[in-house]
Amino acid sequence: ELKDPHCRDEMAAARGALKKNATMLYTASQAFLRHPDVAATRANRDYVFKQVQEAIAGISSAAQATSPTDEAKGHTGIGELAAALNEFD
């Protein structure tokens, strides 16, 4: 159970993306296997595969309570933003 609301939201978003893209990966892979000579089938499969990899990375990041992309960009958490807005008033 994740205690941090940001991590829970990140996990839910990543799980939703994984659920959506798993079926698309299956379909894109089947199309590529049936038509390996068509460049578009390879491109579609590769794109969906990348989306699945990103979703898995998001799940891993949320489970470990780390977010390297947010830390690198210097984003603040939702709670910190709300507190800053309350102090501003």
Name the helix (H) or strand (E) containing 67: none
Evaluated on CA atoms 60, 62, 8, 16, the torsion sign reads negative
More confidently predicted of 15 and 79: 15
Mean pLDDT across the stretch 9-13? 84
Q: What residues make up the domain containing 79?
A: 5-88
Distance CA(61)–CA(11), nearest Å, equals 8
Residue 53 is part of a domain; what is its CATH number? 1.20.120.230
The pLDDT of residue 10 = 83
Number of separate domains in the chain? 1
More confidently predicted of 27 and 61: 27
Per-residue model confidence as pLDDT tens digits over 37-78: 999 999 999 999 999 999 998 888 888 876 545 544 555 455
What is the C-alpha R_g of the chain?
18
